[in-house]
Structure 1
């Protein structure tokens, strides 16, 4: 859910949405997203 909200936030700001785990509070490395 946090990832979706961050995506929508970036869209509203006119940005090209990019997932960054740290932006949603995930501090550990996520190999599947790299």
Structure 2
């Protein structure tokens, strides 16, 4: 699970794809922040 992300709240492949990109972007930003701050 990406930061507690368990299921999609939207329907349709395009929307789900966008939602997944948003979740992974947030995870990557959080990870980058942790690596640069630490």
TM above 0.5: no
Q: Choose between structure 1 and 2: higher helix proportion.
A: 2
The normalised TM-score by structure 1 is 0.40
Higher Cα Rg, which structure: 2
The normalised TM-score by structure 2 is 0.36
